[in-house]
Every structure is written in C-alpha cells, then in structure tokens.
C-alpha cells in the first residue's frame, strides 16, 4: 500500500479511471473519423471491428471499476489498482497491434499509465508497469515475426519487415523512456508528498505556536492589540477592558510617530496609557500598552501633599504675623466707624472705613479658610447616613438661597465617615453651584448604587466648567471667580478622599456636574 491514505489513494484512482475513459473515447472517435477523411477506406475492416470490440470491453470494464472502486476494502486497494493498470496497458498494446505495432503512436498513452502507477505506488508501481508493458510489446513483436499473430494491417507488415536489430533498438528505447518517465514521476511525487507533509507539519506547528502565543498573551496584565488602519485582528483580555476608548486610542497612537519602537504616554478620556507601537506582518502593527492612571493619580496626590505641607508652613507664619494685627485693625475700624457716624452721619470717611472693614474681613475669611484646609484635624469616623446629612444641609441652604430650586432624591445607604465633615462637603458643592448660577437656577441631587459603590450626583443649570480647567478645579487656590479663594472644592476633594472615596467633575447638557463616589456598606 502507498503512503497515501486510503481515501487519498481511492480519490487518485478514480481520477485515473476518468482519464482512462477520456482517452478511450478519444481513440474511438479518431478511428471513426480518419476513415472518412481518407478516401476508399473500409470503416468496417477486421482491424476496426477488433478495435471496436476491445474498446467496448475496456469501456464496460472502466464503468464497472468506477462503480465498485468505493466498495473495495482498504487492504485490496493496491491489488485493485494493479489490475486497472494491467488491463489498461493491455488495451493500448492491442491498439498498437491494430495501428502499426511497435511504431504505433498510441504506445505513448502507456506513459500516462506508468506515471499514474508511479504516483499511486511510487517506484515499485512504475517498475512493475514498465516491465509489463515491455514484455507485452516484446511478445507482440515475436508473435508477429513468427506468424503466431495475423498481420491484419499494412502498418504491421511495414514495421515487422525490418531487421531484428531495428525492432529491438526501438523496443529498448521504449523501455528506457518508460523507465525514466516512471522513475521521474515517482520521485517527483515523493518530493511533492514530502513537501506537502512538511508544509502541513509547518502549518500545524504555526497554529500551535499561534495558539500558545494567544494563550500566553491573553493572560498577562498588559494590553496587546494587533491592528491595521481598518480593523483589529487580536485584542487580549487586558486590552478588552478599554473597549470604550480602544478605537480612539489606536487611531491616535498610530499617528504618533514618536511611539514607533519607543514608549510614549497619552491621556484618553481621563485614562493615562503608556504604550509603544511596532511593525508586524504585512501592513499590520502591534501596540503594547499599560494603564498608568493609578500611578499618575498617586503622583498627583504626592504633589498635592507637598503643596499642602508648603501651605501649612506658610499659613502658620501668616497666623503669627498677620492674623492678630488684622483682628485689631478690624476692631479699630469698627470703633472709628461708630464714632464718626455719631459725629458726621453723612461723612465721606464712612465709605472709606467701610472699605477697610470689608477688605479686612475678607482677608480674615481667607486666613480662616487656610486654617481649615491645612489644619491636621482628626476625623470622628462612625456609621452615618449621607441622605439624612444632605436633607439637613439642603434645608439650611434653601434659607440662604431662596431663588435656587433644589431637588434631592437620595437612596438610603450608610458609610463610615465624619458627619460634620460631610456636611461641609455638601455645603461647599452647593455653594459653588449657587455662585456660578448667580444665586438663581436649579440644583438636582440624585444617587446611583452599584455593588459596593454609591455615587451622589450634583447637577446644576449654570454655565458649566471650562473644559480645559476641569482637571484643576480641585487644586488648592485655583479659582475662576474674582473673589474666590480656590479652597472650597479643594476642601471637598480632601475630605472625600480621606473617607476613601473619590470626586469627579464634568459637564452635562444642562450645566455642571460633580460626582462623589463612596465605598459603601449596605443598610
């Protein structure tokens, strides 16, 4: 049995049977066509009748073989194939006997059989079919030479009237040609099979390597994406968590030539990503990236702590050098104002003293804010309900801001925190909204609960935040107001983070939004 699988062997054998049918049909057609082309040729001569009988037999045999080839058991396939080659070669030797013996052009069809024998059964098949064809041709010549077979055509008389030397020379030429053709066909087939096996094995290994590659890189905590300008070919599990910004990130990273083979950083929708882009196969690229947001926030926190430490030292100095004299100055201005008002009720000095008193009070308020922001106060942490705290703050806030409409719908939940500090947080946020709306507008307060996170939303109908300033509004002393201290929202950020939460600012279609996110304990 050849090294082909049984199914492959059977398929190639069926191809051979189809090709054989085609050649037999072609020869029958030529035998009937040529007599009409040649004048005075008897189409129903003995030779043609003998040919027609042989052709009919081989056609029937071919049809039967095609029908039953699928029923032959695997262990008999090789024997079945040899039988096909023997019958086919025998037929073409008969055709050569009718059409000129050793000189017949139809002998070259035998080469097709030898080639197919080499393909199916390698060198062994080619050698056996070559020897069989050689022996049949030798017997044909001997039988004709010694009159064991009748000379039925003029071509036979012409061919075998020549000397034995000429006959054997041609016969051995055929033997050499048949042998060489069969051997080359078998070797080429063997090379093709080996190459095909190597290709299949290489493909299998590549698939295995690809499978291992994807298995390994799908588990590591770093993003890997293979992509081109039109689509993403591979996205590992880490990269999938950035699905909402991934397309935008890839588009911007692909334009960044500085990232080719080097590491760059980019901020996409508030997320810091460190990445590098490298060429891959064809026009594809691979990007490797990681999330640095937590690190950058920690760095910002360290910077903020350094600022706070500096502010604390500055505040302590200011407290000793300015606060006490300023308090005396404000008290003296109050006394002067009362005395002058009694003596000169309509005096212009009254306006000047009022300015001194107002601005002195403003400076004192700023100093008090600094004290509150920088002092290392302790937090009394206990279980409290933010919804109840908000209810109290909203009630008081409405008294001082009657033109601000406040809607508050907060779910019940509890956190571990300092109720007084949380009141300060809620008051500062609403105060900031009211100032931005010039004390006339709407504040909508609502909540959202998910897993262990509880978010409180503060939406207002003011002008909203300036987009370029959103990342700075929680920084100390940053303010867009003419008389703002820049410490209100900074204090909000400090208190919320001390409670283990986070605070975020953004714009909506109606105005500004501040979101406080608490780690909660369900009630």
User: Is 131 in contact with 172 (CB distance < 8 Å)?
Assistant: no
Give per-residue burial for 214-226: e unless 16+ CB within 10 Å, then b: eeebeeeeebbbb
Alpha-carbon span 166 to 156, nearest angstrom = 14
Q: Any idea what DSSP says for residue 520?
A: -
| Contact assessment for residue 504 and residue 488, using Cβ atoms and an 8 Å cutoff | no
Could you tell me which CATH number the domain at 382-519 has?
A: 3.30.565.10
Confidence of residue 37 (pLDDT cuts 50, 70, 90): very low
Nearest Cα to Cα of residue 249 among 222, 277, 209, 221 = 277
- 337 or 393: which carries more pLDDT confidence? 393
pTM (2 decimals)? 0.40
pLDDT at 41 over 70: no
Share of the chain above pLDDT 90, in %: 3
pLDDT of 459 reads 93
Read off φ and ψ for residue 143, nearest 5 degrees. -65, -40
Identify the CA nearest to 465 among candidates 399, 404, 510: 510
Please state whether beta strands 453-460 and 441-450 pair in parallel, antiparallel, or not at all (unpaired).
antiparallel
Q: Per-residue pLDDT tens for 127-164?
A: 888 888 888 888 877 777 776 666 666 566 566 666 66
Over residues 362-368, the mean pLDDT reads 65
| pLDDT surpasses 70 at 369 | no
Assess whether pLDDT exceeds 70 at residue 88: yes
Domain ranges of the chain: 6-201, 223-291, 295-374, 382-519
Is the pLDDT at 353 greater than 80, yes or no? no
pLDDT digits (tens, 9 = 90+) for 421-480: 888 889 889 988 888 888 889 999 998 887 778 889 999 998 888 888 787 888 776 676
Weakest-pLDDT range from 45-59, 322-336, 431-445: 322-336
Q: How many helices (H) and strands (E) does the chain have?
A: 14, 12
Terminal C-alpha separation, the chain: 79
């Amino acid at each position: 049995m050849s090294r082909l699988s049984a199914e492959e062997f059977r398929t190639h054998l069926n191809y051979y049977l189809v090709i054989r049918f085609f050649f037999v049909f072609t020869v029958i057609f030529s035998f009937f066509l040529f007599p009409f082309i040649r004048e005075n040729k008897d189409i129903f001569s003995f030779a043609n009748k003998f040919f027609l009988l042989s052709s009919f037999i081989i056609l029937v045999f071919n049809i039967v073989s095609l029908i039953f080839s699928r029923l032959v058991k695997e262990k008999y396939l090789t024997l079945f194939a040899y039988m096909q080659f023997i019958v086919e070669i025998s037929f073409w030797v008969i055709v050569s006997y009718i059409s000129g013996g050793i000189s017949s052009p139809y002998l070259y069809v035998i080469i097709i059989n030898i080639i197919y024998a080499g393909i199916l059964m390698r060198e062994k098949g080619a050698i056996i079919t070559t020897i069989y064809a050689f022996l049949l041709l030798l017997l044909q010549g001997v039988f004709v030479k010694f009159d064991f077979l009748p000379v039925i055509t003029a071509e036979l008389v012409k061919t075998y009237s020549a000397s034995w030397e000429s006959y054997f020379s041609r016969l051995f030429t055929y033997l050499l040609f048949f042998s060489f053709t069969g051997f080359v066909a078998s070797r080429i087939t063997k090379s093709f099979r080996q190459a095909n096996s190597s290709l299949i094995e290489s493909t299998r290994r590549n698939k295995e390597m690809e499978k291992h590659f994807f298995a390994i890189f799908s588990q590591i905590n770093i993003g890997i994406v293979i992509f081109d300008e039109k689509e993403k070919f591979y996205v590992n599990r880490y990269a999938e968590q950035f699905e909402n910004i991934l397309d935008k990130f890839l588009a911007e990273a692909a334009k960044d030539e500085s990232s080719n083979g080097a590491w760059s950083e980019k901020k996409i929708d508030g997320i810091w990503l460190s990445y590098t882009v490298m060429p891959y196969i064809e026009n594809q690229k691979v990007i490797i990236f990681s999330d640095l947001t937590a690190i950058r926030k920690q760095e910002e926190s360290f910077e903020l702590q350094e600022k706070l430490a500096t502010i604390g030292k500055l505040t302590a100095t200011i407290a000793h050098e300015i606060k006490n004299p300023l308090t005396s100055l404000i008290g003296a201005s109050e006394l002067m104002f009362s005395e002058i008002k009694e003596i000169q009720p309509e005096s212009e000095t009254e306006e000047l003293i009022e300015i001194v008193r107002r601005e002195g009070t403003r400076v004192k308020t700023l100093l008090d804010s600094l004290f509150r922001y920088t002092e290392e106060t302790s937090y009394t942490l206990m279980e409290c309900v933010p919804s109840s705290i908000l209810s109290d703050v909203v009630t008081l806030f409405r008294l001082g801001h009657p033109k601000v409409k406040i809607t508050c719908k907060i779910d019940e939940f509890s956190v571990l925190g300092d109720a007084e500090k949380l009141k300060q947080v809620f008051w500062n946020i609403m105060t900031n909204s009211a100032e931005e709306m010039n004390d006339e507008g709407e504040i909508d307060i609502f909540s959202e609960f998910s897993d262990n996170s509880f978010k409180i939303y503060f939406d207002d109908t003011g002008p909203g935040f300036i987009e370029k300033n959103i990342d700075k509004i929680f920084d100390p002393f940053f303010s867009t107001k003419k008389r703002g201290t820049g410490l209100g929202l900074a204090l909000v950020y400090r208190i919320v983070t001390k409670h283990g939460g986070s605070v975020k600012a953004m714009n909506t279609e109606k105005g500004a939004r501040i979101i406080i996110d608490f780690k909660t304990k369900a009630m």
